[in-house]
A and B are shown apart, each in its own frame.
Chain A
Amino acid sequence: MSNTLLAMEQITKVFPGVRANDGVSFDLQAGEIHALVGENGAGKTTLMKILYGLQKPDSGTIYLRDRATSIRNPRDAIAQGIGMVHQHFMLVPPFSVLENIVLGEETQTTGVLRMEQPIEKIEQIMNQNGLPVDLKLPVDELPVGLQQRVEILKILYRGAEILVFDEPTAVLTPREVEELFKTFRMMKQQGKGIIFISHKLDEVLNIADRITVIRRGKVIQTLPREDATKAKIAELMVGKPVLLEVKKQAVEPGATILEVRNLRHRGERGHEVLEGTSLTVRAGEIYGIAGVEGNGQSELVQAITEPLKLEGGDILLQGQSILSWDVRTRRDAGIGHIPEDRQRFGLLLPFSLADNLTLGRHHRPPFVKGSQWIDSAKVREYARQTIEAFDIRTPSETTPAHALSGGNQQKAIVAREMSFEPILLVASQPTRGVDIGAQEFIYSQLLEARQNAKAVLLVSADLDEILSLSDRIGVMFKGRIIQELNRAEATREKIGLSMTGGEQSETL
């Protein structure tokens, strides 16, 4: 019998407009830790969803222990020995560790719970894999690292041979990461196979036996640990530049508009999300934040655009601290925001386009007369002007926002934020899910803002976008800007390396 636990061959999965997985082949041996590495949108998540039964491949085969098989749903996956530890835990907070582990798989006689057998079995698993946890404690009282342990115990209890970990160290402290890796090594010895998804190359090089790099839906290369260096992997991850010629005129940057000083923020799970983030943006420049998602970019944007509980640091707009200001005050002061999830945050979908275009400024003249009366004539007029100026494709200004295409919805948001004439524009993933035409248009708008002496903070997981537009680039990793470069000195390789942890010598 071979040692191959899992083989995925020529897996292809196509969604409208994008080939998430394009002929991906991947295998996992018993007693191996195999890391899966790639940027956001590269296709790792889709591949794992297929493995876990949450998606069906369009073509390709999955072999478990050399037998072709199909995985219909997550319960099927568990039954076949595949266990997944998600980023967001699936635990019942008030239940004890023991209850969480046995839920759905309980031992009982005529309906009455019997816990002696499970306890014995779990203790054995805990010993074999180095996962001690107090079974009686309620799960919501455990630190994140131990909660993760409960998730691992859950899948081991159900007999998982193949364990998939999706960015498991994102919420862990360094010590908890060490503990986790100890566990990995012990599970290795038990003959289990581990798939480890991460973009933190330090960790990957620490623990993995083999590393597979995925980019744009294809496997670029699978290397054994001995052949891998950070630089090499980073290069494979970011690849060759995509030619997107954007004409940029030289603009002399002006006064400092935004200053972020040493922000510290703890997330809801208690872990450090922002660990001393600092940056400045001047009028007439685009500052691009590069980095893999999940390194604190969203929280940074949140801290700038709305009141966020901070453990330390300050944010200054034209020299004034804005920490105590609510959203309306920040907007009135000139902060514009293109949100990263337009449907969830940016638009009232059932409302008309005209209403959406005034959203955020709807409380001020000329849209209201005397602070309460809506001047619908002015609203419509402004809407019509804006639609024309920004070339938003819509039957009329009264069309509900949900009827517009994704690209036009995003254009509407950009149009709105631009026409309120902000002094600082925060753009978060501004061209996500947007067609090429709208994308070019949005780029030109951002450049025009820069031209008009606005300060633009651009956050994007798309490295090409950052490189095309930015004057200065900051790489965000683990809640800090660890590297700052001028556009002239920035290369894909340098940035790619920093995005994944970088060389310590190049930190700020």
Chain B
Amino acid sequence: MKRFRIDKYRLMELLAPVLGFLASVVVLLIIAGIVGESPGNAIRAILRFTVSNASRLASVFSVAIPLFISGLAVAIAFRAGVFNIGVEGQYIIGGLVGALAGIYLHLPKAIHLPVVVLAAMAGGALWASIPAILKITKGIHEVISTIMFNNIALALVNYLVNGPLSGRGEQSLEPQTRKILSTALFGKLNHWFQAIGLNVPNHVYLDYSLIVAIIMGILVYILLFRMRFGFEIRSVGTSIDVSRYAGIRVKSVQLGVFLISGAVAGLIGTQEIFAIRGHYTFEIASGLGFDGIAIALIGRNSPIGVVFSAILFAFLKQAGYGLQLYTSVPNAIIYMITGLMIIFIVIINEIVTRYIRALRKKEAA
């Protein structure tokens, strides 16, 4: 009997993302209607661009890769109660450090690739280390400090890429670094997919960053659920008081998880830098760090949840392009819908939580 009850609550918890998504789709259709597009057309356009064939579907997954890494980075910090909003800055710096390792180090391919990955992680962790230390030594709340560091990172990288590290003249007039050596570039995996019958054309990016993402996901999962440190992370995120009572060194855990989060964040840009572009520019997609916050929340801070959440976000992004391509609805609507969806989901979440709490109280009485 008791097992059944637990499932009922778990089901209700899943309600929030589903209802939130549906609510925002309704809003999307309404706005599309206002612009003069029928709901049917809008839905057809979206589906056509996202799931109509293997190529499209693969594109969704391709876009999901950096989103997943971002969500993962934020989620692991959240698990310990650390709000790492600095993912945005950490991936800019991490990407730069990785790119530098790819430009200036001369190593055989088999070594160069892991080295750039580690370099990117080191860069991200480095950028996270100062806010982390400020938190545990001075008690400075990480939300404010990491937001400041995000913007410092933007300015810093802007300076570096325009100045000392510039490779301008080699390629184009756009401020960027020199080209990354071929030994460090991420190759594509498309031929593997084609070999097993999924016809993924070569312009869709399913590359080594997919492997990196999968490995990171697995490593984070193992850390959280199979390793002692991961247990302590979850404990600190649940209750600092109890963790302290049990002898867990809370500050060490917070510092460690902050650094790990930064390290993972450093990898967010690897697809764009090492697979798509081949050089580093500060024009690399920004906003992915903030997306990660929403993705982690909707994925309930679990590696598996973040997978679905990232795919959802990627789906939405692609849906926007689909609408732009096949209807008169502009792509920009997707930003509005995404933002709205997040708000719907968290509000519904709160309503459901209150309802569950009331139910539990009634049962106990």
Q: Are A and B in direct contact (Cβ within 8 Å)?
A: yes
Instruction: Tell me the smallest distance from the CB of B273 to a CB of chain A, in Å.
Output: 32
Contact B231–A373 (Cβ < 8 Å):
no
Q: Given the known A-B contacts A327-B244, A344-B241, A395-B2, are A362 and B249 also in contact in the complex, defined by CB atoms under 8 Å?
A: no
For residue A341, which residue of chain B has the nearest CB?
B241
Please report which residues of chain B, range 229-249, place their CB below 8 angstroms from some CB of chain A when the two chains form the complex: 229, 231-232, 234-235, 238-239, 241-242, 244-249
Contact B247–A348 (Cβ < 8 Å):
no
How far apart are the CA atoms of A374 and B234 in the complex, in Å?
A: 14
Instruction: Tell me the smallest distance from the CB of B348 to a CB of chain A, in Å.
Output: 21
Q: Given the known A-B contacts A344-B241, A345-B241, A351-B238, are A372 and B246 also in contact in the complex, defined by CB atoms under 8 Å?
A: no
A355 is an interface residue with CB less than 8 A from chain B: yes
For residue A330, which residue of chain B has the nearest CB?
B247
How far apart are the CA atoms of A337 and B246 in the complex, in Å?
A: 9
For B227, list chain A residues within 8 Å (CB). 372-374
B226 is an interface residue with CB less than 8 A from chain A: yes
Chain A 199-219, CB-CB to B under 8 Å as 1, else 0, gives 000000000000000000000
For A373, list chain B residues within 8 Å (CB). 226-228
Chain A 329-369, CB-CB to B under 8 Å as 1, else 0, gives 11110000101000011111111000100011011000010
For residue A371, which residue of chain B has the nearest CB?
B228
Please report which residues of chain B, range 196-243, place their CB below 8 angstroms from some CB of chain A when the two chains form the complex: 226-229, 231-232, 234-235, 238-239, 241-242
Contact B244–A306 (Cβ < 8 Å):
yes
For residue B243, which residue of chain A has the nearest CB?
A348
A326 is an interface residue with CB less than 8 A from chain B: yes
Instruction: Tell me the smallest distance from the CB of B48 to a CB of chain A, in Å.
Output: 43
A248 is an interface residue with CB less than 8 A from chain B: no
Contact B228–A326 (Cβ < 8 Å):
no
Contact A327–B247 (Cβ < 8 Å):
yes
Please report which residues of chain B, range 23-63, place their CB below 8 angstroms from some CB of chain A when the two chains form the complex: none
Please tell me which one of the listed residues A345, A351, A368 contacts residue B245 in the complex, with CB atoms under 8 A apart: A345
How far apart are the CA atoms of A332 and B247 in the complex, in Å?
A: 9
How far apart are the CA atoms of A349 and B239 in the complex, in Å?
A: 9
How far apart are the CA atoms of A372 and B238 in the complex, in Å?
A: 20
A328 is an interface residue with CB less than 8 A from chain B: yes
Contact B246–A359 (Cβ < 8 Å):
yes
Q: Given the known A-B contacts A355-B231, A374-B231, are A328 and B247 also in contact in the complex, defined by CB atoms under 8 Å?
A: yes
Please tell me which one of the listed residues B226, B238, B244 contacts residue A348 in the complex, with CB atoms under 8 A apart: B238
For residue A332, which residue of chain B has the nearest CB?
B247
For residue A331, which residue of chain B has the nearest CB?
B247
Instruction: Tell me the smallest distance from the CB of B238 to a CB of chain A, in Å.
Output: 5
Contact A346–B2 (Cβ < 8 Å):
no
Please tell me which one of the listed residues B3, B229, B235, B249 contacts residue A359 in the complex, with CB atoms under 8 A apart: B235
Q: Given the known A-B contacts A328-B248, A328-B249, are A348 and B228 also in contact in the complex, defined by CB atoms under 8 Å?
A: no
How far apart are the CA atoms of A326 and B228 in the complex, in Å?
A: 19
A119 is an interface residue with CB less than 8 A from chain B: no
A403 is an interface residue with CB less than 8 A from chain B: yes
For B229, list chain A residues within 8 Å (CB). 372
Contact B248–A348 (Cβ < 8 Å):
no
For A349, list chain B residues within 8 Å (CB). 238-239
For B248, list chain A residues within 8 Å (CB). 328
How far apart are the CA atoms of A153 and B64 in the complex, in Å?
A: 62
Please report which residues of chain A, range 373-402, place their CB below 8 angstroms from some CB of chain B when the two chains form the complex: 373-374, 376, 395
Could you say which of B3, B226, B227, B242 has the most chain A C-beta atoms within 10 Å of its C-beta?
A: B242
For B241, list chain A residues within 8 Å (CB). 344-345
Contact A360–B246 (Cβ < 8 Å):
yes
Chain A 284-324, CB-CB to B under 8 Å as 1, else 0, gives 00000000000000000000011000000000000000000
Contact A374–B244 (Cβ < 8 Å):
no
Instruction: Tell me the smallest distance from the CB of A132 to a CB of chain B, in Å.
Output: 37
Contact A326–B226 (Cβ < 8 Å):
no
For A372, list chain B residues within 8 Å (CB). 227-229
Chain B 232-276, CB-CB to A under 8 Å as 1, else 0, gives 101100110110111111000000000000000000000000000
Instruction: Tell me the smallest distance from the CB of A348 to a CB of chain B, in Å.
Output: 5
Instruction: Tell me the smallest distance from the CB of A291 to a CB of chain B, in Å.
Output: 23
How far apart are the CA atoms of A374 and B225 in the complex, in Å?
A: 8
Contact A374–B226 (Cβ < 8 Å):
yes
For B235, list chain A residues within 8 Å (CB). 348, 351, 359
For A363, list chain B residues within 8 Å (CB). 228, 232, 247
How far apart are the CA atoms of A344 and B238 in the complex, in Å?
A: 11
How far apart are the CA atoms of A355 and B3 in the complex, in Å?
A: 19
Please tell me which one of the listed residues A306, A326, A351, A403 contacts residue B2 in the complex, with CB atoms under 8 A apart: A403
Contact A347–B242 (Cβ < 8 Å):
yes
Instruction: Tell me the smallest distance from the CB of A421 to a CB of chain B, in Å.
Output: 16
How far apart are the CA atoms of A373 and B226 in the complex, in Å?
A: 6
Could you say which of A347, A363, A373 has the most chain B C-beta atoms within 10 Å of its C-beta?
A: A363
Q: Given the known A-B contacts A348-B235, A348-B238, A351-B238, are A362 and B228 also in contact in the complex, defined by CB atoms under 8 Å?
A: yes
For A360, list chain B residues within 8 Å (CB). 245-247
For residue B225, which residue of chain A has the nearest CB?
A374
For residue B234, which residue of chain A has the nearest CB?
A351
For B226, list chain A residues within 8 Å (CB). 373-374, 376
For A351, list chain B residues within 8 Å (CB). 234-235, 238
For B234, list chain A residues within 8 Å (CB). 351
Contact B231–A339 (Cβ < 8 Å):
no
How far apart are the CA atoms of A362 and B233 in the complex, in Å?
A: 13
For residue A355, which residue of chain B has the nearest CB?
B231
Instruction: Tell me the smallest distance from the CB of A306 to a CB of chain B, in Å.
Output: 7
Closest 9 CB pairs between A and B? A328-B247, A327-B247, A360-B246, A345-B245, A359-B246, A331-B247, A372-B227, A348-B238, A372-B228
What are 7 A-B contacts with C-beta separation under 8 Å? Answer: A327-B244, A344-B242, A345-B245, A350-B238, A351-B234, A351-B235, A372-B227
